[in-house]
């Protein structure tokens, strides 16, 4: 189904009860503070928010929606939790951030019409649930895309700057107390940056890079015009444009179409010494090919917030590579994230109740 069709179809996901009463029963399936519960109700008073804090895991940090892994429900609590989920028209969060729990709930709750995922890339969790075509048609899924745009864009900018200013060399020399001869650093204002993905995150990245004077080349399968982007190319032209690129920023989600999009052919074609920043999904980058490119100098520096396997295995060579900065998938985290997601959810609830299209609707063909 096309994105436009998804938007117009959203109104059809209203249940008969919603049309009659104008209310939406929402089960809170993921940690949500009392403050943000109140904020959600304030923004959309037609929500009947059903929440039992004793059934939700304690968060260890903001946006820790999986919660403390040592925490467990008793069998009785689990029964109560599932009964709560099965009574709702909509879910705030994927239950326990577990695709199998999502599948169970969709199949047990015939009245369920909408699930909001906490992640910007929540489509991958929906895909992992293995739902059938009828189930995907009955339930609308939305993501928290856009909430993470500013912090991820800042990390992307940091990565591009770190590569241009040779942060690894500065760190090595400082640790060795070495006052070397002076050298010429690269200027971002003189660089061409290839930006993979021109969605919510990519557009913020483009604006920040453009403000520094960089020439930004974006990728899209559609004919789009984005502020700050000088040229838009199709993803199948990546190898063609790679020789003119000084830095690469990936913001793409993990789909079948994007898996290992940045592979050996791409890295071999890059301008030697290029910087790579990944704030999208780890499987967009072929890590074996990246390591080879780092060793040969084709990639001069890589700032990575996401990886093919997470947590990054202790045996991964990326941990010890001098030209790699490892960030434990934390670049998107922001103290305001929980509140921003709650506000996005409330805005979408208003759209659903008013029969308008939902924001950030998951494409259930490619799951992004």
Pairing of strands 192-196, 247-250: parallel
**CB–CB of 129/99 below 8 Å?**
yes
What are the counts of helices (DSSP H) followed by strands (DSSP E) for the chain? 14, 12
Q: Return d(Cα 364, Cα 368) in angstroms, integer.
A: 8
Q: Which residues are catalytic?
A: 281, 310, 329
DSSP 212-234: TT-EEEEE-SS----TT-SEEE-
**CB–CB of 196/249 below 8 Å?**
yes
DSSP 147-197: TTHHHHHHHHHHHHHHHHTTHHHHHHHHHTT------PPP-GGG-EEEEE-
Scanning 212-332, the segments in alpha helix (DSSP H) are 238-241, 264-269, 287-296
Q: Return d(Cα 233, Cα 235) in angstroms, integer.
A: 6
In Å, how far from its chain's centre is CA 346? 20
Q: Return d(Cα 328, Cα 331) in angstroms, integer.
A: 8
Say how many C-beta atoms besides its own lie within 10 A of residue 307's C-beta: 21
Q: For residue 37, give the H/E element and its range.
A: helix 34-43
């Amino acid at each position: 189904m096309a994105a436009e069709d998804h938007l117009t179809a959203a109104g059809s996901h209203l249940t008969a009860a919603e049309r009659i009463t104008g209310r939406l029963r929402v089960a809170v399936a993921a940690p949500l503070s009392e403050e943000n519960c109140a904020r959600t109700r304030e923004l959309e008073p037609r929500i009947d928010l059903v929440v039992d804090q004793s059934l939700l895991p304690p968060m260890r940090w903001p946006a820790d929606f999986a919660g403390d892994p040592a925490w467990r429900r008793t069998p009785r609590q689990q029964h109560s939790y599932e009964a709560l989920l099965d009574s709702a028209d909509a879910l705030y969060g994927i239950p326990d951030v577990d695709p199998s729990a999502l599948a169970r709930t969709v199949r047990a709750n015939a009245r369920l019409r909408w699930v909001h995922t906490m992640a910007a890339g929540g489509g991958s969790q929906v895909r992992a649930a293995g739902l059938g075509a009828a189930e995907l048609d009955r339930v609308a899924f939305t993501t928290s895309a856009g909430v993470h745009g500013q912090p991820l864009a800042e990390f992307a900018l940091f990565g591009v700057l770190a590569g241009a200013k040779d942060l690894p060399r500065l760190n090595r020399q400082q640790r060795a107390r070495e006052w070397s001869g002076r050298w010429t650093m690269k200027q971002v204002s003189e660089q061409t940056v290839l930006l993979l993905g021109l969605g919510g995150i990519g557009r913020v990245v483009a604006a920040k890079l453009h403000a520094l004077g960089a020439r930004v080349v974006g990728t899209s399968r559609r004919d789009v015009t984005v502020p700050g982007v000088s040229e838009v190319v199709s993803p199948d032209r990546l190898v063609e444009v790679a020789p003119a690129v000084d830095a690469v920023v990936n913001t793409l989600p993990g789909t079948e179409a994007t898996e290992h999009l940045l592979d050996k052919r791409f890295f071999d074609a890059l301008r030697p010494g290029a910087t790579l920043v990944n704030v999208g999904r780890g499987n967009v980058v072929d890590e074996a090919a990246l390591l080879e490119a780092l060793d040969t100098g084709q990639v001069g520096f890589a700032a990575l917030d996401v990886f093919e396997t997470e947590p990054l295995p202790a045996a991964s060579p990326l941990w010890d590579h001098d030209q790699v900065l490892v960030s434990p998938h934390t670049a998107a985290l922001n103290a305001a994230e929980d509140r921003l997601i709650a506000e996005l959810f409330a805005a979408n609830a208003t759209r659903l109740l008013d029969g308008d299209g939902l924001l950030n609707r998951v494409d259930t063909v490619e799951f992004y």
